[in-house]
Structure 1
């Protein structure tokens, strides 16, 4: 009979998860710019871990198309792909439209109150020009709507696709105007949810997601080296 050693295995998995989350965060926040080279050995040294969890984190990021891993060649942060952005936005829109429809029908008042609290924090983040905080609250805002719709599983799909759009959104949130537009978009969706107005909620959700078009146009103009195809 084979006996596993859960303590060692759990520690390795936890280390892999920590490295994965940190690298993913740095990629999405553009601390690791598109096209940047990554060294497995250097990251392992910086994180004070062995190379194995770094290698596993690299593989997971490669599966998300955030890293370009080529044998015998340097691993790079993938540039932002226009095609992938179009595909992921389509998937997000399809899912989120149905989520807000359901939320209009079944959301409880305590769930709407949690969304209102999130929006209040978003206003504070905008007033403080805290783009990092607003991005985090944006993530939780969409999750709260899924929870209000009793569609928690849907957020897994949304989160997977947000990994691609969030890098472009980081560029959007670099100025006060972009931050204010995100807040206004979220507020409009929330107001429609409170009114149980499905069609308005859907229309505002679609508009909120289409806003990415202008973001991409400006980002491509200002940071062309970040993009491919």
Structure 2
């Protein structure tokens, strides 16, 4: 698969290779434990090994690849301990963000969040689940920005991406979409009420929904775990 046509954009060859491999890994088109080589990827995309090496390094920094000198590079398997730590970090950050947002909340913030929720409802009713999950992403990002901590979303996003790869193994995204919307609605209500206790409680509930699913995936797909 050649990538010359995509080079019309300012992105580098390494960017394009990275983005392609990232999507294939997180969508489990390349499964955990699979071996992957610079030479093979270079031939596949029709590029030299240097941009592939750069892409591998970036994927390794995201804990998606395990790069072993003089040995085969492999797609990282899931780790229950790492997932638990990731969930802990995200919850800690989100609780601090939601508390700060309650203290800084304005009517303009509420209007913006309600507009996002209206779009979420419309997309869910139309069955546009992929677009719905993009708004889920922007919902949490907006709260960070409105709460005065925009950089906190970088940590939340990193944690979310690590768990999202795991959840491709289940139907969690489609089955839980209505629950996600209900949680978002409750979060928006708590923020509108400027209630720290209410906002923290519903945030905990929202982020705990995946716990049972993660346990079930671990049992059903043990081969993809360390």
Pick one of 84, 98, 101 that aligns with 1:100.
98
Q: In the TM superposition, what whole-angstrom CA distance separates every residue of 1:150-171 from its partner, at most 9, and x where no partner exists?
A: 1001111212222311213334
Deviation of 1:173 (Å): 4.8
Judge conservation of contact 1:93–1:209 (CA < 8 Å) in 2: yes
Alpha-carbon spacing, 1:28–1:109, altered in 2? closer, same or farther (3 Å):
farther
1:1-229 maps to which residues of 2 (within 5 A)?
14-174=12-172, 176-228=174-226
* Deviation, structure 1 residue 82: 0.6
CA distance in 2, matches of 1:106, 1:193: 9
Give the direction of change, closer, same or farther, for the CA distance of 1:64–1:176 in structure 2 (3 Å limit).
Answer: closer
5+ residue gaps, structure 2, are: 1-9
Report the 3-state secondary structure (helix = DSSP H, G, I; strand = E; otherwise coil) of the residue aligned with 1:152: coil
Runs ≥4 residues deviating over 6 A: none
- TM-score of the superposed pair, with normalisation by structure 2: 0.84
What secondary structure sits across from 2:188 in the alignment? helix
Deviations 1:77-123 (A, max 9, x none): 11111111111111111111010111112133333333323323333
User: Root-mean-square deviation (CA), in Å?
Assistant: 2.4
How far did residue 46 of structure 1 move?
3.6
Q: What's the secondary structure of 1:72's corresponding residue?
A: coil
